[in-house]
Each structure stands twice: as structure tokens, then as C-alpha cells.
């Protein structure tokens, strides 16, 4: 048996645009998914928390099992503390923990190999995607995806002529407050919708380029520890995301409420519901402002620990 764990994440800069190869930054948060993987006897069946694996409820897990198990049945036990459908990367954390757990049955896990497999699984599960969430869940801390490699390089992933080079970068020196709107968001639908919009309207491609530029300026500010500039770029990023239609009134209201007490605030992840984030030195005031606007505030610490083999038995 192996027990592995991996964190969820928030996106500081560049969601959606990163799917088309533009720069982006995400940071792991202390909300983790833990998976135990047991090799079952050859006649046994693959189960998840005691029930037969099912392609609807356990899509990512099934894909990981098909890709990596060489046909051997396995038993999985999942405990997730990453809230789902809030834009906190719950499906990526599960993909990493389950694919990493299967690989860990054979010994140490090569993070680069895991990153390649995990992206393949995410891509098969939902079509167009970027390796931002999965790379962050593997590496922990803050991860920047860039088209070219520079210092802090971790690994690179290529698909459909797009290259993403993953890099480790500094975690923000501010507290994180997440504001959940109360409405679920559906990544694949929304990524597909934005894709259609991008094909039909040249201006969306231009906005994605601008988001990429903002992500790069934001990254440099993060590397210099300039939280004021990080915040300015987050606010600009939110405005551009609104222009491509992935924000909504609830998200905009929570972002505006958080701003007076924050370095910056923006929606995080796919949008269309889900959550916003604020970076702040006054987390209580931000949480109160979010609550006043009808949102659900949550505080999470940054998590510098990425994918981890917690225990091996037998």
C-alpha cells in the first residue's frame, strides 16, 4: 500500500490565456487530497472507497488507472480536503494523487514523468487544458508557466504545438483570502466557450496576449517581493477576464468589496461562478467584506509541499 498526498491551488495570474500558451502563475494551498493505493489480487476488481470504479464519478481516477496500472486491479481510498467546483484545483489534486500513487507502487516517482502523465489525463478528461494546475499540485509553492525556460526551471510539457515550461517562483508574502460565490463553475464548459469566442473574435486573442503580459509583470513583481505591484496586476487581470466574459456580478461584487483592504483581488480559475482571491495583510477585514456581500470567505495558508509519498507498506 502507498499513501500519497497533493495540494489544491489558486491562480494568481493568467487563467484561460495559459491554455493558449501565455504566461501564468499559480500557488499551492494547504488543502490536500490524500489517496491510499492498494494493489488488489489479480481476480479482484478496481474499487474507489469500497465501490466499483465508475467512469462518471471517478473520471480522472479511471483515466489514471487505465493509463498507468498495466491492467492490474487496484483499491483506492480517497480523502479530499480540497473543496470541489470552487476553482481550487480539486480535480488536479486528485489526478496527481491517484496517478502519483499508482506510480509510487513501483518506487520513487519522477515529478517530470508525473507531470506528463497528469496533463495527458486532464486533457483526455476534458479536452483543451493547460498543465498549470497539475504542475502546481506536483511542485507545491508557486509555479509559473512560461513559453521559454529560465532560472527555476522544473519541466516542460508540449501539446498541439504549444510549449509550457514550468518554473518554481516565490510564494506571495501576504495572506490569502478566498471568497466563494456559492455558485459552482464548470471548467470544461467554460474553457470550451472561451475557445469558441477566441476563434470567432480576434479581440479575445488580443486580450489573452495582454493577460500574458500582465502575468509576466506580476511574476517579476513576485520575484522582487513587490506585493503592491503584484496586487495592481491582479486587479488588471480581473478586468481583462471580465472582458472575455468569464466573470459575473457575484465575482465582481466580491472583488470590489475585497479591494479596499487588499493588495489586489481577482477571480481565480475558470470563473463563471466559483471563487475569487484577495492578497492582503488584513485577512479579517477582507473576510468580513466578502461575508457582507453574501460570499463565503475561506483562509488558506500557502503550501510549499507538493506531491508527497506519505507512507509505504508491504
Question: Which residue ranges make up the site for ligand PMV (CB under 6 A)?
Answer: 15-16, 18-19, 87, 89, 129-130, 132-133, 187, 191, 269-270
Give 48 or 277: the residue with its C-beta nearer to ligand PMV: 277
Give 15 or 36: the residue with its C-beta nearer to ligand PMV: 15
- Nearest alpha-carbon partner for 307 in 149, 128, 117, 146: 117
Give 104 or 169: the residue with its C-beta nearer to ligand PMV: 169
**Beta carbon of residue 106, minimum distance to ligand PMV (angstroms, whole number):** 28
**Beta carbon of residue 100, minimum distance to ligand PMV (angstroms, whole number):** 18
Do 297 and 285 meet the contact criterion of CB atoms below 8 Å apart? no
The residue at minimum Cβ distance from ligand PMV is: 269
Q: What's the CA gap between 74 and 314, in Å, rounded?
A: 15
**Beta carbon of residue 285, minimum distance to ligand PMV (angstroms, whole number):** 26
Give 136 or 175: the residue with its C-beta nearer to ligand PMV: 136
**What ranges make up the beta strands (E) of the chain?**
2-13, 24-39, 47-48, 51-52, 74-80, 142-146, 153-159, 162-169, 175-180, 264-268, 275-280, 296-299, 308-312
Q: What's the CA gap between 300 and 168, in Å, rounded?
A: 20
**Beta carbon of residue 311, minimum distance to ligand PMV (angstroms, whole number):** 28
**Beta carbon of residue 219, minimum distance to ligand PMV (angstroms, whole number):** 16
Give 68 or 191: the residue with its C-beta nearer to ligand PMV: 191
DSSP-based helix, strand, coil % in the chain, nearest 5:
40, 25, 30
Amino acid at each position: 500500500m502507498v499513501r500519497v498526498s497533493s495540494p489544491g491551488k489558486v491562480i494568481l495570474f493568467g487563467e484561460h490565456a495559459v491554455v493558449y500558451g501565455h504566461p501564468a502563475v499559480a500557488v499551492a494551498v494547504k488543502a490536500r487530497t490524500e489517496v491510499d493505493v492498494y494493489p488488489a489480487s489479480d481476480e479482484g476488481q478496481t474499487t474507489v472507497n469500497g465501490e466499483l470504479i465508475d467512469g462518471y464519478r471517478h473520471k480522472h481516477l479511471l483515466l489514471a488507472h487505465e493509463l498507468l496500472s498495466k491492467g492490474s486491479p487496484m483499491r483506492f481510498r480517497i480523502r479530499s480536503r480540497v473543496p470541489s467546483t470552487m476553482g481550487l484545483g480539486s480535480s488536479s489534486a486528485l489526478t496527481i494523487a491517484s496517478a502519483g500513487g499508482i506510480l509510487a507502487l513501483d518506487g520513487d516517482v519522477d515529478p517530470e514523468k508525473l507531470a506528463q502523465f497528469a496533463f495527458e489525463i486532464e486533457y483526455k478528461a476534458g479536452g483543451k487544458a493547460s498543465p498549470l494546475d497539475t504542475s502546481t499540485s506536483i511542485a507545491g509553492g508557486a509555479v509559473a508557466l512560461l513559453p521559454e525556460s529560465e532560472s527555476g526551471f522544473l519541466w516542460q510539457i508540449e501539446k498541439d504545438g504549444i510549449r509550457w515550461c514550468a518554473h518554481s517562483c516565490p510564494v506571495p508574502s501576504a495572506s490569502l483570502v478566498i471568497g466563494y460565490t456559492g455558485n459552482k463553475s464548470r471548467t470544461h464548459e467554460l474553457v470550451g466557450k472561451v475557445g469558441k469566442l477566441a476563434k470567432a473574435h480576434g479581440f479575445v486573442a488580443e486580450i489573452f496576449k495582454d493577460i500574458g503580459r500582465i502575468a509576466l509583470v506580476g511574476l517579476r513583481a513576485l520575484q522582487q517581493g513587490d506585493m503592491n505591484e503584484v496586487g495592481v496586476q491582479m486587479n488588471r487581470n480581473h478586468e481583462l477576464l471580465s472582458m472575455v466574459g468569464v466573470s459575473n456580478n457575484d465575482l465582481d461584487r466580491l472583488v470590489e468589496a475585497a479591494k479596499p483592504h487588499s493588495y489586489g483581488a481577482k477571480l481565480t480559475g475558470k470563473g463563471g461562478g466559483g471563487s475569487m482571491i484577495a492578497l492582503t495583510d488584513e485577512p479579517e477585514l477582507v473576510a468580513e467584506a466578502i461575508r457582507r456581500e453574501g460570499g463565503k470567505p475561506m483562509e488558506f495558508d500557502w503550501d510549499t509541499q507538493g506531491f508527497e509519498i506519505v507512507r509505504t507498506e508491504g
